[in-house]
């Protein structure tokens, strides 16, 4: 079901998942302030809907997202406080993706540049068309990366490769993005949407409470010492054993059938 309440994106329920499709194709989905506000609202909507168990981010038209709308930036009409507010919205959008209790998948075609690449890095998984191009051009145009990329990208591809991507601003194709670990996998261009739907449905079939717990564990792991992480995992297991989904998982295993998780 298509939610008509957004202008810069399309929010659509796909069974037990939601698709958020960037909808500024006339600007190759370049980001503006309204886009960030609506993206945050759409993500919060997905968070609040119990029947949504996974979220897919895609782009309408010829690109995923080419970054900031330079036409708007070049107008020069913003005060310093307004620029800071815009940049804070960009960070807030990426943080909302990272902190969402449900897995978020980016399906990239065309281009994912600058802010578009930052949004992609914030997702749990990136699926990318083989011919797509992803890059971080900020240094090349006199600005700086944001959205947590300086922390996330080295964890995905290693520090040396992250430095190369950010320092030089090179654009790499989908095959290379998958090879270095920036993307989970590269997919033939005409198969991207089907592959993304299949993958998001697989994620949505898992136990929602378990998914929320393991996503937080993985996100927090690099800043947590081993003893604390072990304690957090133990708490996670104990929490799961109090749920109906845990019993359903046990029963389904014993009965040699697929489990039917309800999220409680």
Are 35 and 8 in contact by the 8 Å Cβ rule? The answer is yes
DSSP letters along 15-73, please? Answer: TTEEEEEE--GGGTT-B-HHHHHHHHHHHHHHHH-TT--EEEEEESTT-SB-SB-HHHH
Catalytic residue among 80, 118, 130, 248: 118
Q: Where are the beta strands (DSSP E) in the chain?
A: 2-3, 9-14, 17-22, 54-59, 104-108, 111-113, 125-129, 133-135, 171-173, 185-187
Contacts of 78 (CB under 8 A, 6+ apart): 86
Q: How far apart are CA 223 and CA 149, in angstroms?
A: 16
Catalytic residue among 85, 138, 164, 233: 138
Neighbour count for residue 217 (Cβ, 10 Å): 15
Q: How far apart are CA 85 and CA 197, in angstroms?
A: 34
Residue where the block lists tokens 């090179």: 170
Q: How far apart are CA 165 and CA 159, in angstroms?
A: 10
User: Is 138 part of the annotated catalytic residue set?
Assistant: yes
Which residues face 54 on adjacent strands? 17
| Residues annotated as catalytic (active site), given as ranges | 118, 138
């Amino acid at each position: 079901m298509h939610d008509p309440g957004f202008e810069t994106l399309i929010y659509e329920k796909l069974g037990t998942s939601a698709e958020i499709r960037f909808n500024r194709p006339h600007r190759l989905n370049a980001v503006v302030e309204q886009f960030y506000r609506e993206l945050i609202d759409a993500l919060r909507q997905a968070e609040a809907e119990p029947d949504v168990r996974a979220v897919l981010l895609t782009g309408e038209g010829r690109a995923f997202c080419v970054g900031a709308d330079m036409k708007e930036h070049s107008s020069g009409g913003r005060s310093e406080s307004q620029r800071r507010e815009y940049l804070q919205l960009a960070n807030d959008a990426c943080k909302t993706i990272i902190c969402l209790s449900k897995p978020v998948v980016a399906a990239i075609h065309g281009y994912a540049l600058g802010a578009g690449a930052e949004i992609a890095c914030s997702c749990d998984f990136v699926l990318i068309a083989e011919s797509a191009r992803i890059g971080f051009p900020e240094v090349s145009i006199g600005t700086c990366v944001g959205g947590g990329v300086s922390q996330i990208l080295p964890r995905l591809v290693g520090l040396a490769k992250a430095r190369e991507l950010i320092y030089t601003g090179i654009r790499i194709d989908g095959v290379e993005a998958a090879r270095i670990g920036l993307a989970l996998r590269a997919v033939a261009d005409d198969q991207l949407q089907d592959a993304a739907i299949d993958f998001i449905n697989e994620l949505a079939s898992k136990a929602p409470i378990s998914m929320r717990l393991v996503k937080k564990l993985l996100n927090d792991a690099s800043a947590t010492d081993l003893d604390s992480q072990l304690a957090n995992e133990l708490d996670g297991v104990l929490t799961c054993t109090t749920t109906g989904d845990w019993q359903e998982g046990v029963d389904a295993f014993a009965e040699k059938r697929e489990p039917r998780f309800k999220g409680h």
